[in-house]
Structure 1
Amino acid sequence: MSASVSVTATGRAEHSIEIAAPAATVYRLLAEVQNWPQLFPPTIFADYLDNDEREQRIRIWATAGEDVKHWVSRRVLDPEQRRIEFRQEVSSPPIAAMGGTWIIEALSVNQSNVRLLHDYQATDEDQLSWIDQVVDRNSRTELAALKRNIELGDAGTDATFSFTDTVEVAGTAADVFGFISEAQLWPERLPHVAGVELIEPGPGIQSLAMDTVAMDGSQHRTMSYRIVFPDTMIAYKQLTMPALMTLHTGYWTVRPTEGGVAVSSQHSVVINTDNITAVLGPDADVATAREYVQRALSTNSMATLRHAKKFAEERS
């Protein structure tokens, strides 16, 4: 009788890129995982489950091909060597295991080399090539975006900014949150929304395609992924960008107050500096673009917040 042999399909990959920024800056941004939706296109949302100076447990939602994957990773931080080791606690099929290391090397005072190492296992050998392709595509995309976003911020152009709009509501968190999360009803409830296609590909995950009426009366379609934390927060990342933005992430939050709840809409934006003059005219600069984009986003989010307030207070 021949013995059975268990064969595990494994893979390894290494990618690297040079970034015109100090190694300490690059390490800090990678270590602070809340920055990741702004740094990396595949990442929709990330935060801490446990966090101390050397070890972290983080949860991440990210695109993988046409799907959204969610996992929890453990990270070991070594700020002296500027290394971050990571390992998924439970991986999503067809990935059986995934881990690796970030290594940031100082080439000079303002120049760094970033190496991203992966090792992984597939649940099925036939799926290994799919994982190879996803790791390669995501790693190249992540490193290119990391370079662009860090260099843009390090250059002091003010192209990256965040802001928050908030309203107080004399109503319940459940009613306010329901208004925000039930986006399929927005065409009936919000005058600036002409149409919505809402799909839930997994628990707590929403794919939202929305036709929005702009300030000049024109319509444009956006596509976003939303991660839903019932009654407290919806984190989102916009996948399709208008000409003036290279990135738009944010979250809706609902928190209790003495008189009811406060509901907020937070936006984080990176201006597409290459398109400023084409869109806003030859005299426009980054400050002009920031003002324009913030006004447009704030107009829509405040309209949503006010209608959520009216909805919740009428139900109370």
Structure 2
Amino acid sequence: MKRVVVVSGERVHRRTRSVEVAAPAGVVYGLLANAVQWPLFFPPNVHVERLEFDGRNERLRMWATAGGRVRSWLSRRVQDPQERRIDFRQLNPEAPVETMNGTWTVEERPGGGSLLSLHSDFTVIGDRPEDVAWVERALAANTGAELDSLKRLAERWGRLDELVLSFEDSVRVNGPAELVYDFLYRVGDWPELVPHVSRLDLTEDTPGVQVMAMDTRTADGSTHTTESIRICFPHAGRIVYKQTATPALMDAHTGEWTVTPDETGVTVTSQHSVVLREDTIQRVLGQGATLEQARRYVREALGRNSTATLNLAKRHAETAIRML
């Protein structure tokens, strides 16, 4: 449903979209409230940093894809768990958006289900029809993906602990944190430096925002093609990423590289979070394969490759020190 309302000379465009969810309202609201987890649960979201939170009011820095581009903004949210309502307002929307506000609501339904709705209103700089149409397309695509994904996850809420897998691997480095970070940042060079990477296409139109497609060789000799978006924080020694095209066993995959110096050296860590796809397990791992086998397979495959990359970063930094 969409409406256009004239307010103080501005044309405010209003949109509402809803979906019935066969899950308790409290479960649905809980998934909405934890915005830091959205990149793992919602396809358009790449990364969310919670800057402030007092239990009700929060300020977020968000990165997401919209209309084929990676966009970033600050957002204010007010959570009301009793009413199961979250109001939000973008503080610095990117052009052509002038204002973007909205409300998430979750209503209980008879029989234990719920109705999830997103009410949005926006204005566009100059209100040019082509810009309004672009925002409408991007909003419709992202809203649809978010509602569909949240419905799918919430309806499996009893098994989410089994479907979601998070882990990390770390390596100690006797070398400068800057050299370790440099190795991880220069992902475009990985086909020459990282043996399990056979191809990598990289674009970085905005400094620190890397969009890449990569072919990775696995232990059995097969090749997986993935697409990812990486957000780089050089001063914090962090690179976070979201795979936008995943291998068959994964519904979603996010991760982070962290370089942490201390008095005796550097710890470099690779962290992964994955939502597994049950419907592909037997096709990939063979007839009779179980979810537990899929968890082990993904843990070993991702851990093997990321640990290999960590050790290469270690060698890069330590070799440079010995050569000085």
Which band: TM-score by shorter chain? over 0.9
Q: Distance in 2 between matches of 1:223 and 1:206?
A: 11
CA contact (8 A) 1:238 1:248 kept: yes
Q: Distance in 1 between matches of 2:123 and 2:73?
A: 15
212, 215, 223: which one aligns with 2:216: 212
3-state SS in 2 of match to 1:90: coil
Tell me the equivalent position of 1:162: 166
Tell me the equivalent position of 1:137: 141
3-state SS in 2 of match to 1:239: strand
Tell me the equivalent position of 2:25: 23
Give the 5 Å matches for 1:279-298: 279-298=284-303
3-state SS in 1 of match to 2:245: coil
Q: Cα 1:172–1:151, aligned 2, differ >3 Å: closer, same or farther?
A: farther
CA distances 1:274-302 after superposition (whole Å, capped 9, x unpaired): 11111111110111111111111111101
The residue type paired with residue 256 of structure 2 is: Y
Tell me the equivalent position of 1:273: 278
CA contact (8 A) 1:74 1:87 kept: yes
CA contact (8 A) 1:48 1:57 kept: yes
Compute the TM-score of the two structures, normalised by the length of structure 2. 0.92
CA contact (8 A) 2:41 2:252 kept: no
- Of 266-275 and 254-263, deviating more is 254-263
Tell me the equivalent position of 1:69: 71
Give the 5 Å matches for 1:213-232: 213-231=217-235, 232=237
Q: Say yes or no: does 1:179 pair with 2:151.
A: no
Give 1:20 deviation, angstroms: 2.5
CA contact (8 A) 1:169 1:259 kept: no
Q: Which runs of 5+ in 1 are unaligned?
A: 1-5
Q: Which runs of 5+ in 2 are unaligned?
A: 1-7
The residue type paired with residue 35 of structure 2 is: V
Give 1:164 deviation, angstroms: 0.6
3-state SS in 1 of match to 2:155: helix
Give 1:7 deviation, angstroms: 5.5
Count the aligned residue pairs. 311
3-state SS in 2 of match to 1:41: coil
Give 1:109 deviation, angstroms: 7.0
Give 1:169 deviation, angstroms: 1.0
Give 1:230 deviation, angstroms: 0.7
Tell me the equivalent position of 1:147: 151
Tell me the equivalent position of 1:258: 263
Q: Percent identity?
A: 45
3-state SS in 2 of match to 1:284: coil
Q: Cα 1:25–1:223, aligned 2, differ >3 Å: closer, same or farther?
A: same
112, 132, 150: which one aligns with 2:114: 112
Tell me the equivalent position of 1:3: none
Give 1:220 deviation, angstroms: 2.7
Q: Distance in 1 between matches of 2:30 and 2:286?
A: 37
CA contact (8 A) 2:23 2:157 kept: no
CA contact (8 A) 1:9 1:123 kept: no
The residue type paired with residue 216 of structure 1 is: D
> CA RMSD of the aligned region, Å?
1.6
Tell me the equivalent position of 1:313: 318
3-state SS in 2 of match to 1:267: strand
Q: Distance in 2 between matches of 1:216 and 1:155?
A: 30
Tell me the equivalent position of 1:36: 38
Q: Cα 1:58–1:109, aligned 2, differ >3 Å: closer, same or farther?
A: farther
Give 1:54 deviation, angstroms: 1.5
Q: Distance in 1 between matches of 2:182 and 2:111?
A: 50
CA distances 1:188-225 after superposition (whole Å, capped 9, x unpaired): 21111112111112132100111211212222321100
- Of 10-19 and 20-29, deviating more is 20-29
Compute the TM-score of the two structures, normalised by the length of structure 1. 0.94
Tell me the equivalent position of 2:3: none
Q: Cα 1:163–1:107, aligned 2, differ >3 Å: closer, same or farther?
A: same
Tell me the equivalent position of 1:10: 12
CA contact (8 A) 2:31 2:150 kept: no
Tell me the equivalent position of 1:237: 242
CA contact (8 A) 2:153 2:160 kept: no
Q: Distance in 2 between matches of 1:54 and 1:157?
A: 26
CA contact (8 A) 2:209 2:230 kept: yes
Tell me the equivalent position of 2:83: 81
Q: Distance in 1 between matches of 2:169 and 2:157?
A: 24
Q: Say yes or no: does 1:193 pair with 2:209.
A: no
Give 1:305 deviation, angstroms: 0.4
